[in-house]
Chains A and B, each alone.
Chain A
Amino acid sequence: MMQILAVPFLRNILLAGILAAVGLAPWSVYVVLRRIVFSGAAVAEVASAAVALAVLFQLAPFPIALALTVLSFLALSRLADSSTLPPETLVGMIYAGGSAASVLLIAKAPRGEADILNILFGNILTVPTAMLWILAGVFGALSLLQYLAAKEFLISAYDPDMGRTLGIRVGLWNMIFYGALGVAVAVAIRAVGALLTFTLLVAPGASALCLTGRLSRAFKLALVFGVISAVAGVVLSYQFDLPTGSTIVAILAGLFVLSFSASRLRA
């Protein structure tokens, strides 16, 4: 551990992992409870297509990816409420459309595919110090929003009719929720990659919800699982020369298997 902290680029990897875990793990509780697990994956594909589009037309990729990620989440939330189709059908179509669009746009882009994929999916091994500040700022602001708007986010998902009866603007709070989630996903994908972002958006919350019957504890447990996985993943990947992002994902998956098994045994 001390060896990792002594080397600047390894320290950046560790900090990026911890910041991504702290920023995304609490959202994962909402993502699991709201049953929007695959929305993250689908929207990541839209972000990919946006980056490929920006590269093709030589525009700044990150703002376009950020804008389209947020818009996709917002559109998904609105369409899921009003469509006659089940929400997962829309998620599936967005996933398929986004994937196809990014492949087609990359094929026509002037820069090399590997170059674009790096912009597209970020890499925890190459996180610059500036990106750490962005992660800290964005996730700090979003965590504050989550803390302050906890009751609005809860009632808007758990019992929207009751919320409206109480005078809470459920539609507005759902938009704020999905917009904030979109920002978190876009920033995290750029910093640590799509696979790790998607896993941090599901696994900590799923594991925590297996182990506790209290919502407040689920948020804390998810945070602990996320941070432990990030730290252990960076240390183990350094120790055994493994890909860092995938090691963190494997630990998160392992923790979920253990939590799920424990909940089954207890039941």
Chain B
Amino acid sequence: MPAELLRAKDLGVGYGAHAVLHGINFAIERGDFMGVMGPNGAGKTTLLKTFLGLLKPLAGKIELTGAGGGRPLFGYVPQRESLDLHYPLTSLEVALMGRFGRIGALRRPGAEDVRIARACLRQTHMDAHADKPYRKLSGGQKQRVLISRALASEPEILLLDEPTNGMDINSEKAIMELLTELQKEKGTTVVFVTHLMSTIERYARRVALITFQGKLLVGAKSEMLAPDVLAEAYKSR
């Protein structure tokens, strides 16, 4: 199996004709635990959505090498605030959505799908909340359910958008330790986006740093968090 899951070549990303980031060259390798960091509005979510195929690259290309040779199976964890809380869904129903891509069109989830969704809730320690309304859970619990949903799709790579945003330090620790555990035990590749340097400092192994100049610097944590690199990255245009 090739080591690289994703390689960006001279990639430009943005909305419409407006480029946010350009000239991106880097790779995500199997088993990576990478944090994507940058100031608010720098293009972190845009980059993530381009990797997922939700936005088309404005320039360059992305080469994907999944286990089958084609597109890898992505497990996407969006910002939990983006989901509509009017929907009366239980944690299990939310986790079950991760199976939808595997079931096939015009088919309903079966007993095996429910079993897998429950197992994923167990993995994130949310099995006791399976039948509780998702909208009534705390921020940290919601995040765990969304991670379960992503795991239910049996992904090769987990992409998480601001997974600890708005959480207290204990909830953040619990979520990030869960991701670390998943990576260690199952070898799942994890890429998370955050604007919090403290999260990167504590948990990331490799760092992709988006600069104010619209560039992406990628390297080991110690290298990317060096004062001179950060000063250059956060220097305004």
Residues of chain A whose beta carbon lies under 8 Å from any beta carbon of chain B: 33, 147-152, 154-155, 158-159, 161-168, 209, 212-215, 217-218
Contacts and interface: CB of A to CB of B under 8 A. Distances in A.
Nearest to A162: B76
Contacts of B98: 166
Contacts, number: 75
Q: Which 4 A-B pairs have the closest CB atoms?
A: A166-B101, A148-B106, A165-B76, A213-B133
B87 A166 contact: no
A214 B109 CA distance: 17
Contacts of B103: 151
Given A155-B97, A215-B93, A161 B108 contact: no
Contact of A212 (B78, B88, B136): B88
A33 B83 contact: no
B88 A159 contact: no
Interface in B57-83: 74, 76, 78, 82-83
B211 to A, nearest CB: 26
B74 A33 contact: no
A264 to B, nearest CB: 16
A147 B107 CA distance: 9
Contact of B88 (A150, A162, A164, A213): A213
Contacts of A215: 87-89, 93
Interface string B152-184: 010000000000000000000000000000000
A150 B109 CA distance: 10
B52 interface: yes
Contacts of A148: 106-108
Given A158-B83, A162-B76, A218-B88, A149 B54 contact: no
